[in-house]
Structure 1
Amino acid sequence: MIFGPTPLDEARGAVLAHTIRLQGRVLKKGTVLDPPAIAALQQGGHGSVIAARLEPGDVPEDEAADRLANALMGPLLARSRASTGRVNLLAETPGLLVVEAETINRLNALDESLTVATLASHIPVAAKEMLATIKVIPFAVPGPVLQVAEAMAKQGTPPLSLHPFRPLKVGLVLSELPGQKESVMEGAVEATRDRIEALCGTLLPPERTRHETAPIADALNRLRRQGAQVLLVAGASAVVDRRDVGPAAIVRAGGTIDHFGMPVDPGNLICLGHIDSIPALVLPGCAKSPKLNGIDWVLQRLFAGVAVTPRDVMGMGVGGLLKEIETRPLPRAEAANAPAPAQAPRRGRQVAALVLAAGRSRRMAPLNKLLVPDDQGVPMVARVVDNALASRARPVVVVTGYERERVEAALTGKGVIFAHAEDYAEGLSASLKAGLAALPPEIEGVVICLGDMPLVAGPMIDRLMAAFDPEEGRSIVMPTFRGKQGNPMLWAVEFLPEMMTITGDVGARHLAGKHADRVAEVEMADDAVLRDFDTTDALRKAPGFAGVR
């Protein structure tokens, strides 16, 4: 192809490179110059134009795009007509798109004149959705180049294939533990049904059993007899080993465990197996959420009839980081003040802050440590409350007790709700219960802040809130520094009834050990989450309190 300034007397059949506006007429880029067009240019005062002239063997852009599109076509694929060197390939039916990346890369590396852009491999597509576009870059492609491209596209595994979703019947077993909220179970069923129906499947009536191997195995066999073509187990507790309750139930039902875990987050704790020829999966905790996670990738392949081998699962790591999770520590210099990601807390989720400020401060007597001013004259409890108000937590509830009037006076004008613990002298549990009783019913969680921890900044609380996601099993969130657990802790409301039964001078931390599978730890940049101040000497060492006497 010859490209450049072209005298009009040599321009017949050439392709105009740039749009030219004439009196009463526009010659657009790509126009093949015929005698009337050349005459109009001459009449408009043009002696030459920038144009492309095809040489022997060159294939015009539309023809080249058309031929390469035909070479890439396969079952259930549709295509547009060629225009301006472009052809789009479309899906004829919903399904899973599989792309042979190596072949596409070889096509794109063949010559700069030809390009093929596709969607990512192994993603679900809707009918009529565009899957790929072929674009010829110049106005023509050398014939030998196009012939090689056509041969590449036709050899071996098709570069693009669409696997339609099959209307499979799916059986779901829900295991239960005592005290588990009904809303959690309902949410798991709803999220699973939505996933299955989106893939053209049907969810059989779910089986609910105790969180024990034998009952789950029996439920799996009942679902097999009902015609289940995929079996799912949503455990009451996260799977921690391939020999755990859910996987053991699959084996007891006559199945085999093929693989445990996947490099997709959320979705790490998935367990894949089969009973005879029926896929049997133990779902990760995040499957109770409708948000995209690893189980979606597995189900999409199963419904499309695409193999899901251990090697396939282990190959999902690139691109497997589906969303930012705040339990991953940030660099120390950034972690404390890093803003929480945009998706957390999600819209509609409300987390309250509860500041415990009722204690008698015996170790710092005669001073009330909560009222000790910092170097700027701000009482410690006011600093703690200001930090809570600087976070996204709302409302902020302050529990008073000892020297109630003085504490409330120190917080005058601040947007908080006061709750008085009449029996504060009985210990920390009394203050905790008074605060919990004052929380509004619509909240989903509460972060419990101690009144003697003034170094915990608002962004730290926001990081806890960003990690909080009961639907994905992160129902208790605690901060850590270098592996040591600290405060404040964030609790889902499902634990509030259990907290209300605590007695004595203790808080709720021991409940985290009881529900260890629901705990998420968030590493912080410094030790603020470990530092409370019970003595005057300790307080003097705190930033901003050097002048304490």
Structure 2
Amino acid sequence: MKAIPVAEAVGMVLGHDITRIIPGKEKGPAFRKGHIIREEEIPDFLSMGKENIFVFDMTPGMIHEDAAAGRLARAAAGQGIRLSEPAEGRVNLIAETNGLLKIDVDALKQINSIGQIAFSTLHSCQSVQAGQTVAGTRVVPLTIDEKEIIEAEKTCAAVFPLIQVKAFKSCRVGVVTTGSEVYHGRIKDGFGPVVERKFKTLGSRVIRQILVSDDRQMTVNAIHELIEDGAEMIMVTGGMSVDPDDQTPASIRAAGGRVINYGAPIFPGAMFMLATIGDIPVAGLPGCVMYYKTSIFDLVIPRLLAGEPVTRDDIAAMGHGGLCAGCDVCRYPLCGFGKD
């Protein structure tokens, strides 16, 4: 560090905290170590008796933590992300929209292995809300060799974007509810309201629900009817177990469904089916979706609404983290459920 007149310090990095004392009212740091001095702040320094201050003697090739964090954040951020102003060397990445958070996890690990860089994110493939902080980045020292930042920028450029929020599309959803007990009015349907509420939270709406008995042809007809009505996604609820009268998997196939996967390494949600009829996703939802706050629905459906393909391998990978802990108070997605 070196001492210079404060009037000559504009644009330089403050080397120590500057304390402001107002007797009986205030005592604390007015400017912190690492602050970049601005011209309009000179009168404040002088009013505190600081005609000379210590600043960092920045050697060529070194950059300040605020500038470094800003460059890292800009290099990493894709669609659906805005950046905060630097604060004590850190820049936050904030969701601009409700959507699916996507992180290139391998590239993130590479960046955090470069040197004195810290880049932290939420888990990938979870639903996030507009205004939510989804990542933050900074460097460890007050100043850092620019070569490390350039290396990180190159890593980001190779995979761009490192981090993004893919907005959910508003989807018209059709629901087929199977079960003779509901169809004949012996019990009240509890599945439809749950599915409707979940889709509303994700920005989509259920356009129609059709009740059918445990009959394959009735279910096939209902699926086709909903597609004719303009449904862009079909949920078939119930009838997903191995009981002889559970016809949902066979009905989805009979309706022309190309099955991506039947069965998932997810508890709750093992009896889930995902298929497509043309380009329309069709999901067979097991009963757990109605009874559990968080289930296979919350892992797969948001990806589909964000336009992400969900493959057999994707579902297989969900086994790591796919065991819900059944907490008394569900805090999903701030937990390990579904985090592969």
TM-score, normalised by the number of residues in structure 2: 0.82
Is it true that 1:174 corresponds to 2:177 in the alignment?
yes
Larger relative CO (CA 8 A, sep 6+): 1 or 2? 2
Correspondence for 2:109? 105
Counterpart residue number, 1:454: none
The answer to whether the 8 Å contact 1:191/1:290 transfers is: no
Q: 2:338 corresponds to which residue?
A: none
What do the CA deviations read for 1:57-91 (whole angstroms, capped 9, x no partner)?
10111111111111112222211122321111112
Q: Determine if the alignment matches structure 1 residue 232 to structure 2 residue 235.
A: yes
Cα deviation, 1:451-486, whole Å, max 9, x if unaligned, reads xxxxxxxxxxxxxxxxxxxxxxxxxxxxxxxxxxxx
What letter matches 2:85 in structure 1? R
Matches of 2:172 and 2:79, distance apart in 1: 25
Letter paired with 2:310: V
SS at match of 1:190: helix
Q: Give the match for residue 165 of structure 1.
A: 168
CA distance in 1, matches of 2:303, 2:159: 21
Cα displacement (A) at 1:317: 1.8
> Counterparts in 2 of 1:307-326, with a 5 A limit?
307-324=309-326
Q: Which residue does the alignment assign to 1:437?
A: none
Aligned to 1:405: none
Partner of 2:323, secondary structure, is coil
In structure 1, the gaps of 5 or more residues are 1-5, 325-340, 345-549
* Equivalent residues of 1:265, 1:293 under 8 A apart: yes
Task: Within 5 Å, give how 1:250-289 maps onto structure 2.
Answer: 250-289=252-291
Q: CA deviation at 1:28?
A: 2.7
On the 8 A contact 1:16/1:32 being kept in 2, the answer is: no
Mapped to 2, the partners of 1:281 and 1:9 lie a distance apart of 69
Secondary structure at 1:267 match in 2 = coil
| Cα separation, 1, equivalents of 2:188 and 2:325 | 24
- 1:220 aligns to what? 223
Q: 2:14 matched to 1:15?
A: yes
Shift of 1:181: 9.6
Distance verdict in 2 for CA 1:171–1:138, change over 3 Å:
same
Output the CA distance in 2 between the equivalents of 1:180 and 1:216.
12
Query: Separation in 2 of the partners of 1:238 and 1:216?
Result: 13
Other structure's SS at 2:91 match: strand
Query: Structure 1 residues 103 and 185 mapped into 2: Cα distance closer, same or farther (>3 Å)?
Result: farther
- Evaluate the alpha carbon distance shift between residue 276 and residue 55 of structure 1 in structure 2; reply closer, same or farther with a 3 A threshold: same
Q: CA RMSD in A?
A: 3.1
1:70 aligned residue? 74
C-alpha deviation, 1:316, in angstroms: 1.0
The size of the alignment, in residue pairs, is 314
Question: Residue 7 of structure 1: CA displacement?
Answer: 6.8
Secondary structure of 2:199 counterpart: helix
What is aligned with 1:93?
97
After TM superposition, the structure 1 = structure 2 runs for residues 91-170 of structure 1, keeping only pairs within 5 Å, are 91-112=95-116, 114-170=117-173
Counterparts of 1:186 and 1:157, CA distance in 2? 46
Based on CA coordinates, which of the two structures has the bigger radius of gyration?
1
Tell me: CA distance 1:65–1:7, structure 2 relative to 1, closer, same or farther (3 Å).
Answer: closer
AA in 2 matched with 1:127: A
Q: Kindly tell me: are residues 184 and 155 of structure 1, through their superposed partners in 2, closer, same or farther at Cα, counting changes over 3 Å? A: farther
SS at match of 2:222: helix
TM-score (norm 1): 0.52
The answer to whether the aligner puts 1:291 opposite 2:290 as a matched pair is no
Measured against aligned partners, the alpha-carbon deviations of 1:373-414 in whole angstroms (never above 9, x if no partner) come to: xxxxxxxxxxxxxxxxxxxxxxxxxxxxxxxxxxxxxxxxxx
Q: Which moved more, 1:30-39 or 1:81-90?
A: 30-39
